Amino acid sequence: MTYLPNVLFAVVLIAAIGYFAKNVGRLRRNINLGKDVDVSDNRKERWQNMVRIALGQSKMVVRPVAGLLHIIVYVGFIIINIEVLEIIIDGLLGTHRVFAPLGAAYDFLIGSFEILAFLVIVSVVAFWIRRNVIKLRRFLKPEMKGWPKKDGNLILYIELVLMLLFLTMNAADYQLQQLGAEHYTKAGAFPVSQFMAQLMEGMSISSLVILERAAWWLHIVGILFFLNYLYFSKHLHILLAFPNTFYGRVTPKGKFKNLEAVTAEVKLMLDPNADPFAAPAEDAAEPDKFGASDVRDLNWVQLLNAYTCTECGRCTDECPANQTGKKLSPRKIMMDTRDRLEEVGKNMDQDKGEFKDDGKQLLDDYITREELWACTTCNACVEACPVSIDPLSIIMDMRQYLVMEQSAAPTELNNMMSNIENNGAPWPYNQMDRLNWVNE
Amino acid sequence: MSELKVKTMEAFMAEGKQPEILFWVGSAGSFDDRAKKISRAFVKLLNKANVDFAVLGTEESCTGDVAKRAGNEFLFQMQAMMNIEVLNGYEIKRIVTCDPHSFNTIKNEYPELGGNYEILHHTQYLKELMDAGRLQIEGETFKGKRITFHDPCYLGRANSVFEAPRQALEKTNATLVEMKRHKRTALCCGAGGAQMFKEPEKGDMDINVMRTQDALETNPDIIATGCPYCNTMMTDGIKAHEKEDKVTVLDVAELLANS
């Protein structure tokens, strides 16, 4: 009987990690539905970017209030996880506060966890107020209606509850230590929970043990639930921000990729020795589709971008088109890409990994042409993203599809392009007049 | 009134000489009435500094940048490769342009297609000339005026060139004032991504009007630009705000040429 809690704990732990691993597998599969892209260059700069932007939160603090609050929650999250390690060992071995022999260091650790937990609670409350009371513009955009809004609040509630459980557990533990209860060795410093412990004065040892155990179990089960919540939430960024900043852009923002398939064809067209009537080789590969109309036309880094997006909306807030009331919202581009990718993934899950045409695609069914044509390619969204997401690259790939596969550019742009084709300038002026400005 | 000395690459070739630098005029600089004045102001400065420069003249063609941003990769690469053939034929090493869009595509997108050149934005080159003592600016005309510089997206955010235009402007002895959003967070003028050539999508304001508002909040006498398209957008924005009597929009080259 005495081993029952240990066994139960092991079962819960394995089930939680197992389910999480299964979803990580799905995540990998979905991201790999994207086209291959070479990211083996600039390793050093990539590591530096990851350390500076993800680990160091360098772009978060561009907005100081949100940045500071976020750093508190982030640091709290990482450091308090050291405590989770102890909880897991205790749970499996049936020990209590197994790190206690660390002595003064242990007191310091527990003390800092408590202060951090308190600061996290303060920050989470501030975040909730920003989302629900102050009603910041970027949290009220149309794409934030429904699940995205609920998701944002749920994360805050879960974090709040986890921190309160952590402190309740410590408070009860502290009280038990004071009462000299068996099994509860004197260890740890409780700068925050000692005040909560005052509320527990007068409680019997047995009720305190029940309270301590309940908080302990709910806390760890809550953490395992939160771990599994990630895959279904924008909160996935806590893991994916790291690879995403690593694989993010290392070239100037103005450099858009040149399509290699086009280069080959253009070279052929400009080659005076090429035979214009030559039939394509028998074994010639199917020509590439130009641009993107669905998620599988994007590359895997763009798909990773979509899963990394935490819908903070800084991109949309900085977007000149969005600020002037146009439909384009770079955040929506990322959310749509993720939603469609999830839909494609589920479609494949239903049929042993085979995708069955569902008559839908990213273009039109999720992202409208009006949104795509409103972009000024100014890179404000890319600059604003705290985790190196590039919504502009998706917009550009979809424009390429519209123009090169569908000839569906706005009429004025078609005129501009035929001017370039005919006379080498976007306006209908003769190339022979190119130097007239000198004498005017 | 042609007091400008402009020589084509063809003429240099005929003399068996190489210029110090090639001035890439760009389509706007060649054909747009407003931008032509910028080209002329820049050449005036080049002449003043006795720079041995060439233009491609009728051999120059659209860089293809705007086609690429519109999604037409074919047309872009056709244009790029034709230009690269001309540039490589003349063994061009160093290019300067007044257009950040040409600057960006030649700097970042031409190399993979076989075009490797050192390219400078005209504000960078003007600064180089002034630093070397080749170009002297009296700095009288605009003394005491308030100038605010609007960062072109494809110069600033896209290529991290923020200081050269500002340092060049300092030579005018004007007071430089910054808009609230500047450098990395500067708002676009609204012309990029081929928007220059189409009507904007439905919204509740035009981007250039919003950006001009940013500029007007600094209470400037002059809005300085470093891009022919920004220049047009800001000029239109000033008109929308009915401030054309009070505020002028001038390129950095025009400001220096008249200082």
pLDDT tens by residue, A245-261: 999 999 999 999 999 98
> Which residues of chain B make contact with A383, given a CB cutoff of 8 A?
157, 184-185
Q: Domain boundary at B88, B109, B129, which?
A: B129
**Which residues share a beta bridge with B120?**
B96
- Whether the CB-CB separation of A189 and A111 falls below 8 Å is answered with yes
What average pLDDT does the segment A213-236 reach? 96
Q: Domain boundary at B129, B145, B171, which?
A: B129
Residue B172 lies in a domain: yes
Both B124 and B142 in a single domain?
A: no
Cβ-defined contact of B72 to A409 (cutoff 8 Å): yes
What average pLDDT does the segment A327-338 reach? 98
How would you class A162 by CB atoms within 10 Å of its CB: exposed for 0-12, middle for 13-18, buried for 19 or more?
Answer: buried
> In CATH, what class is A260-274+288-428?
mainly alpha
The pLDDT value recorded for residue A270 is: 84
What is the C-alpha separation between B158 and B76, in angstroms, rounded? 19
The pLDDT value recorded for residue A280 is: 62
> Which residues of chain B make contact with A376, given a CB cutoff of 8 A?
153, 188, 190-193, 195, 207
A-B contacts (CB, under 8 Å):
216
| DSSP codes of every residue in A353-368 | TPPPP-S--HHHHTB-
The pLDDT value recorded for residue A271 is: 82
- Residues A384, A58, A254, CA angle at the centre, nearest 5°? 40
pLDDT digits (tens, 9 = 90+) for A23-49: 999 999 999 999 999 999 999 999 999
Both B237 and B156 in a single domain?
A: yes
Q: Domain boundary at B80, B102, B129, which?
A: B129
The domain spans of chain A are 4-31+63-247, 260-274+288-428
B153 closest CB neighbour out of A373, A378, A427: A378
Residue B3 at interface with chain A, using a CB cutoff of 8 Å? no
The tally of CA atoms less than 13 A away on the side-chain side of residue B27 is 25
In this model, does residue A288 exceed pLDDT 90? no
Residue B1 lies in a domain: no
Q: Which CATH number is B32's domain given?
A: 3.40.50
Both B59 and B114 in a single domain?
A: yes
How is residue A153 written in tokens?
Answer: 């609040």
In this model, does residue A10 exceed pLDDT 50? yes
Nearest residue to B81 (alpha-carbon basis) of B97, B104, B103, B105: B105
- How many domains, chain B? 2
Q: Which residues of chain B have pLDDT under 70?
A: 1-2
Residue B153 at interface with chain A, using a CB cutoff of 8 Å? yes
Both B67 and B28 in a single domain?
A: yes
Give me chain B's average pLDDT, please.
Answer: 97
pLDDT digits (tens, 9 = 90+) for A75-131: 998 888 888 999 999 999 989 999 999 989 999 999 999 999 999 999 999 999 999
- Whether the CB-CB separation of A426 and B66 falls below 8 Å is answered with yes
In this model, does residue A70 exceed pLDDT 60? yes
**If you measure CA to CA, which chain A residue comes closest to B161?**
A252
Residue B2 lies in a domain: no
The pLDDT value recorded for residue B1 is: 45
Cβ-defined contact of A370 to B200 (cutoff 8 Å): no
Both B19 and B118 in a single domain?
A: yes
Work out the pLDDT band at A72, boundaries 50, 70, 90. Answer: very high
Residues 6+ apart with CB under 8 A from A351: none
Give me chain A's average pLDDT, please.
Answer: 94
- Whether the CB-CB separation of A389 and A244 falls below 8 Å is answered with yes
Cβ-defined contact of B73 to A429 (cutoff 8 Å): no
Both B61 and B155 in a single domain?
A: no
- Which one of B42, B68, B74 makes the best mutation probe of the A interface by having the most chain A beta carbons within 10 Å? B74
The pLDDT value recorded for residue A282 is: 61
What is the C-alpha separation between A398 and A337, in angstroms, rounded? 12
For B14, the domain range is: 7-129
